[in-house]
Chain A
Amino acid sequence: MDSQITNAGRPRFRNLAAVIALIPATAAVVVVYIGCMLWTVRLSFTSSKLLPIFDWVGLSQYSRLFLNERFSVAVENIVIFGVLFIAGCLILGFLLAVFIDQKVRGEAVFRTIFLYPYAMSFVVTGLAWQWFLNPTHGVQKLGRDLGFENFTFNWLVTQDMVIYTIVIAAIWQGSGLVMCILLAGLRGVDESLWKAARVDGIPAWRYYLFIVLPLLGPMIVTAVVLLSISVVKLYDLVVAMTKGGPGIASDVPAKFVMDHFFERNNVGLATAAATMMLIAVASILAPWLYQTYIRPAGRVA
């Protein structure tokens, strides 16, 4: 670390001031990030209902969790959502970045339009889309008004399809971020590559797919990690858009946990589900974190 001076000859009291300055952050790490996490994991092995009890029931909350129909719906939903949302954001974000990079007129306007949803909250996004997709007033009525009498688009209120409406809304909100990350990457690609590809008569689409895309590898990894984290955290959007319904059809793990904490007063089951979320994140994160932060000597890009 070139930014840190050596210890030699430093008066003790200055060191003390730095130690004191780090106390709040250390307290947050110890009490919240470690303490509360361990507390949650510990509670998942208890029979706590409304209030925490510190007994020990082994893995019985977990076996109850895996038999819980609502939780399996939530897990299935988050897998569908995760795959489609990440794939959708990457494809749309990549296409937007490539097309914007063609020296188009009004580039700044397009960029502004594609990214503005990212500034809005999930609650606003959810309410906007539930209005747009509302069968009585929204896109279905629009189709019928245009003369297609039998036009049907009622995914928002259809159990099997509702999760896809959440995917659409989330892609709308998040693909601007991917565009932004990849556009920065595209601007760094050496221009002579394109000239060489032209000389060899390689068409533009093959140039982007087979030459540029591999060069963007690290940015795509970053984007995937960021999107994955927001997948696991998915909560506000579902609450605002469908409240988890119809029935439990659009439930997700974060909502399952929140409802069992604060409405159904089943702390044991909720902490077991929260621990499963923690394990899911850790398995996504560990390899990437090692690669990005720990290997290059702690310096963050």
Chain B
Amino acid sequence: MTMMQASGRRPSRISAGTIGIYAFLLIAAVFFLLPAWIMLMTSLKPMEEIRLGNILMWPNAVTFEPWIRAWSEACTGLDCRGVSVGFWNSVRILIPSLILSIAAGAVTGYALSFWRVRGANVMFGLLLLGAFIPYQVFLYPLVRIFAVTGIYNSFACIVLVHVIFGLPIMTLLFRNYYASLPVELFKAARVDGGGFWSIFIRIILPMSTPILIVATILQVTGIWNDFLFGLTFAGRDNLPMTVQLNNIVSSRQGESQYNTEMAATILTAMIPLAVYFISGRWFVRGIASGAVKG
């Protein structure tokens, strides 16, 4: 949309208005980039330079040592194995949670859009409501249930929690997408005698690529960035990267290794940032349809 050109004349020289627009955008860009820039610079400096030097400046002597320390030596209390432990825990949590939550959302969304089941819309309404309720309302009873069933503080537990709390948004996403598919396709498949699962696998699933991409983006960033569930349900040995990172920073003793901490922070942000930069417009589409998650 060309708001400025709509006036019909071409500006012969750069007007004050144009300068103002770019000035505002550049100042805003500085505001948004500054924390990331400072983190990066800090992570590349030795501690003496951090103590003495300017926080904005490019390091006099670039060092990657903080990055290596952050990855393999940073301490949580007495455990000095670096954020790599949390990284691999997060990967192990992410993969099954991702697959199961998308599968659950896709099947539920499919059943809701194409099949008539008594009470299904009521169930869907309640599920949607669940997406908005603060997690603190569910946490304690869930902990009790998991403790009684014996899976509390395990990978299974944290994966199950991610699937349960991913269900509203995943279902909403797939249900809306399937509602936009032509229903004639489905009817034709029914005439040919297709059953519930065969229609889903042979016809619906092959048409779901765009929404599968959106769902994957949402869930990878959402699950990776989770802190509350990992803290509550994963157990000490399976803590995800975000929780471990926070433990490293808050359990520091003596003088902080700020450069190591910042390197660890950047490492923790790496996966969602990679998803963001690679997926581009898909990410925007994801948050437009799934922003309820925040």
Contact = CB atoms under 8 A, between A and B. Distances in A.
B101 to A, nearest CB: 11
B3 A278 contact: no
A131 B25 CA distance: 25
B22 A104 contact: yes
A278 B137 CA distance: 7
A52 interface: yes
A194 B134 CA distance: 42
B130 A103 contact: no
Interface stretch (B60-68, B69-77, B183-191): B183-191
A113 B29 contact: yes
Contacts of B115: 4, 14-15, 18
Contacts of B291: 177, 181, 226
A275 B137 contact: yes
Interface residues of B, number: 108
A50 to B, nearest CB: 12
B126 A33 contact: yes
Contacts of A236: 227-228, 242
A293 interface: yes
Interface of A: 1-7, 13-15, 17-19, 21-22, 24-26, 28-29, 31-37, 39-40, 43, 52, 92, 95-96, 99-104, 110, 112-125, 127-129, 131-132, 137-139, 141-142, 145, 172, 174, 176-177, 180-181, 184, 186-187, 189, 191, 194-195, 198, 204, 226-227, 229-230, 232-233, 235-236, 239-240, 243, 253-254, 257-258, 261-262, 267, 270-271, 273-275, 277-278, 281, 285, 289, 293-294, 298-300
Interface of B: 1-7, 17, 21-22, 24-25, 28-29, 31-36, 38-39, 42, 50-51, 54-56, 104, 107-108, 110-117, 120-121, 123, 125-130, 132-142, 144-145, 164, 167, 171-172, 175-176, 178-179, 181, 183, 186-187, 190, 195-197, 221, 224-228, 232, 242-243, 245-246, 249-250, 258, 261-262, 265, 268-269, 272-273, 275-277, 283-284, 287-288, 291-292, 294
16 contacts: A3-B114, A22-B112, A34-B126, A110-B29, A127-B245, A127-B261, A128-B35, A128-B39, A131-B261, A145-B54, A229-B294, A239-B227, A240-B246, A240-B249, A275-B137, A289-B128
